[in-house]
Amino acid sequence: MKKIILILSFLALSNLAGAQWYVKKYQVQDINLLTRSQLDESLKTAKNDLLVSGVVAGLGGCIFILSKYSMWTSDDPSPLEQLIGEKGMNDLYAGIGIGMMAAGTIAFFGYLERTKNIRTVIHRNFPTIGSLHLSPKINYNRYTASGNLGLTLTWNF
């Protein structure tokens, strides 16, 4: 059980090591240079990683709650259990649960941001037919050196 918890925690954090994941995975310097199939694959991977990080955070929360409201006892205690006692083992499990919740939550928000960025690039670079796009714009007049704020509305057909 302990090994599984540690392995899940490290797997959730391992993919967040590189902030610009597309440089490492696709060898491009800008996310806008990815093709539609690469973006779709990345979105699917980010969604799966989002789910895994949520499960790790939830599992950590369950372990923390169980360590606070029940005693972890075994029929054949290990040397560590004999050394630190029953309360020490509960505190150890509570610490593991808090660590998993923290790691899963950090990974969850990281993958949530990655998913949002990928969707934004897909909608901007590969618009669907009939879609509307509204964005702010500053119109600059060179002759009078003045600027006007405005909106641009784009309809893809």
Q: What are the CA-CA distances from residue 48 to residues 12, 51, 54, 130 (Å)?
A: 11, 5, 10, 30
What's the pLDDT tens digit per position in 116-133? Answer: 999 989 988 888 887 777
Pick the range with the lowest mean pLDDT from 45-54, 74-83, 121-130, 137-146.
74-83
- Report phi then psi at 136, rounded to 5: -75, 155
- Model confidence at 62, pLDDT cuts 50, 70, 90, reads very high
What are the tens digits of pLDDT across the range 8-20? 666 655 544 445 7
- Using left for φ > 0, alpha for ψ between -120 and 50, and beta otherwise, residue 124 falls in alpha
Residues 116, 24 contacting (CB under 8 angstroms): no
Domain boundaries of the chain, sorted by first residue: 2-126, 128-157
Q: Give residue 138's pLDDT.
A: 84
Pick from 154, 156, 118, 116: nearest CA to 133: 154
